[in-house]
Amino acid sequence: MSFEIAVLKGDGIGPEVTDQSLKVLLNVASKYGISFDFTDGLIGGFAYDKTGTPLPQETIDLCKKSDAVLLGAVGGPKWDKAPNDKRPEMGLLSIRKMLGLYANIRPAILIPALKTECPLKDEIINNGINITVVRELTGGIYFGEKGREIGANGIEAYDINKYNEMEIRRIANVAFALASKRNKKIVSIDKANVLESSKLWRSVVEEVSKSFSDVKLCHMYVDNAAMQLVKNPAQFDIILTDNMFGDILSDEAAQITGSIGILPSASLGDGTLGLYEPIHGSAPDIAGKNVANPIASILSAAMMVRISLGLEEVAKSIENAVNITLEQGYRTQDLDNENYISCSKMGDIISQNIV
C-alpha cells in the first residue's frame, strides 16, 4: 500500500517537529510493508515571504489530491505587521475552510508516565484524564464579519460571532457519534445566558441529541467549564463546543495533561481527507534550537494513519513507541528543564521503539 501525504511544515518549530514525525512514519512504514510519498507544500509566514500569500493555490491543489495532510505550525512575530488577510494564521484558517474540515478533534489524555507533570493534585487526577474536545472549526467569530469604524469615542472594532443551524448540527452529529463509541456522555459548552449564537447552539444540539438516546447530554457555560476542567477533569469525556471556546478550552485541557507539546489534533470533514497537526503554536522563541517537543506532531501522525488511512495497527505501534519512550524517562525541555534531550533525539528514540 502506498499513500500520498501533503507535508506543510510551516513556520517556527513546525519544520523541526514535523521532520521527527516523518522519521517515525518512514520507520513504521518499513516494518509494516507500506510506503508514504511525502510532498512538501508552503503555508503560513514562510509561504507569504516566498509567494506573497499565506496559502498558495499550489498548496491547496496538493492537499486536495493527497490522502492526508500533515501540518507543523504557522505564525510568528515576524509577520505581526502583515495585512490581516496575509497573516500566517489566515493560511491555516483558509485551508481548513477550502478542504471542508469543520470538525476539530483534540484528545487530551494524561499519559501515566507524565502523571508527575500534571499541575493538579493527585486526589484530583486519581481517576485519570481522558477528554476529547470536539471543536467546530470553520464558523463562528474567527470567520465572521470583522472591521473597524469611527464612532463617537474614536475607533471601534468588531468581530461577529455567527452560526447557522447546519454548521451546529453537523458538528453535533460528529460529537454524538464519537460519544456513542466511548462513555456515552457529552458536555456541550456555550454562553447561552448571554449570547444569541449560543442560544441557537444549545437548541440545535438538543435537537440532535434526540437521535442519540443512549448518549447523556448536559450543558455548561464556558466560564464554569474553564473552572471545572481544573477542579474535576474526570467528569468530562466528550466536550462539544464552538470555534473560539474550543480553541481556548483545548489548550487548558492540554496543560493539565502535562504539556501542550504532547497533544495532537485532527481536522476532519465529510470525506476521508483530514489535516493533522499538534495543537501547539509555532513557538518562535525556541525555533531552530532543537529543543521543541515533537510528541504532539508524532501523535498527530498516528491519528492520521488511523483515521484517514485506516491503519489501526500502525497507529497503535506509534502510540506505544511514544509511551515506551516516556516510560524510559526521556524528556524534552518543556517536561524537564534540567535533564532533557533534543527534539531530534526524541524523534530518534521514538522511532527506535517502533516494534
CA 17-18-22 angle, to 5 degrees, is 125
Q: Which residues are catalytic?
A: 142, 191, 223, 247, 251
- DSSP secondary structure string for all residues of 211-226: T-TTSEEEEEEHHHHH
Q: Is 237 in contact with 179 (CB distance < 8 Å)?
A: yes
Distance between CA 266 and CA 186 in Å, rounded?
19
For residues 206-219, b (16+ Cβ closer than 10 Å) or e, as one string? eebbeebeebebeb
Contact between 90 and 79 (Cβ < 8 Å) = no
154: left (phi over 0), alpha (psi -120 to 50) or beta: left
Strands 154-159 and 146-151: antiparallel
- Output the CA torsion sign for 274, 278, 280, 286: negative
Whole-angstrom distance, CA of residue 352 vs CA of residue 355: 8
DSSP state of 257: T
- How distant, in Å, are the alpha carbons of 23, 33, 45, 129, 267 from that of 110? 25, 32, 33, 5, 21
